[in-house]
Amino acid sequence: MPEGHTLHRLARELNEAFAGTMPQVTSPQGRFAESAALVDGRLFERAWAHGKLLFVEVGGQTIHVHLGLIGKFQIAPVVGIEPPVNGVVRLRLLNEHRVADLRGPMVCDLVTPEEVDALVTRQGPDPIQPGADPVPAWERIHRSGKSIAELLMDQTVIAGIGNIYRCEVLFRQRVGPAYAGKRIKRTSFDAMWSDLVRLMAVGVQTGRIITVEEDLEAAERDIATGRIKPEYDRPNYVYQHDGEPCPRCGSRVRTRVLAGRNLYWCGGCQRRT
Ligand SMILES: [Zn+2]
């Protein structure tokens, strides 16, 4: 499943492609056809994301998109004629220069302003949004008997975190994934939140989840100088490294299913509450 940085990048790419233009809006598959007709040929105002939710504002209406596990929203250049439709396309945006095809989303609906508010209010703070207030996330974690590893995956606690960021931020801050939220110290929470803000900002800029400190620093330098590399050597510490030695203490990296996804952690050096 895409993590929050993917949706923020997608919003940015949609804005670059369509903002200020009046794209054709269609549903080649048909399931979104009636709604598409309402906004077809109208002004594309903006796209924006909160966590894993994407909103596209066209012609005074808002389209809510959730990619879910398999959804893809792909933007491509248009050269001459309209590109043929490949596969099952729920939503197509098309102007003179760009085409964006949405396939396999969990959600693609027109929503009212009240529904947008309700959807966003249910989400936790999003570390990618500048100035996001982490306190509501701390309040939830601080009062919960669920494990911190489970809470980090809950979009109503913090929006946009998926399995990779979950595993890696716990490792980076040496926090034991099985500890209950109510046992986590405020200093640990603050360290994880600041780290997520930093990690996910690099994710938005590079399109990659880079969590190994040296790579992260290199990526930050690349971003500052406008020279983002196509690849980084070993972008993660523990995610999908089960059975290998921990890069920090040499213990074996372990895995087990938690909150529906494989958690990866080091039992040797992740002991902080
Ligand atoms: Zn370790």
The CATH fold of domain 4-122: N-terminal domain of MutM-like DNA repair proteins (3.20.190)
CATH assignment, 135-266? 1.10.8.50
pLDDT of residue 232: 66
In the chain, list all ranges with CATH 3.20.190.10. Answer: 4-122
The whole-angstrom separation of Cα 250 and Cα 233 is 19
Q: What is the pLDDT of residue 82?
A: 87
The residue from 46, 183, 248, 261 that is catalytic is 261
What is the distance in A from the centroid of ligand 1 to the CA of 203?
A: 24
Q: How far is the CA of 204 from the centre of ligand 1 (A)?
A: 28
The Å distance, Cα 42 to ligand 1 centre, comes to 55
* Residue 3 annotated to the active site: yes
Residues less than 5 Å from ion ligand 1, measured at CB = 246, 248-249, 251, 266, 268-269
Report the pLDDT value the prediction gives residue 1, as an integer from 0 to 100. 75
- In angstroms, the CA 43 to CA 112 distance is 17
d(CA 94, CA 82): 8
Output the furthest CA–CA distance in the chain (Å, rounded): 60
Residue 198 among the catalytic residues = no
Q: Is 136 exposed, middle or buried (0-12, 13-18, 19+ CB in 10 A)?
A: middle
Cα(1)–Cα(14) distance, rounded to whole angstroms? Answer: 20
Distance in Å, CA 176 to ligand 1 centroid: 11
| Domain ranges in the chain with CATH number 1.10.8.50 | 135-266
Mean pLDDT by 10 residues, the chain (273 residues): 92 98 98 97 98 97 95 94 93 97 97 98 97 98 98 97 96 98 98 98 93 94 90 81 96 92 96 97
* Residue 177 annotated among the catalytic residues of the structure: no
- Which one of 52, 92, 98, 172 is the catalytic residue? 52
Q: Which three-class secondary structure state does DSSP give residue 164?
A: helix
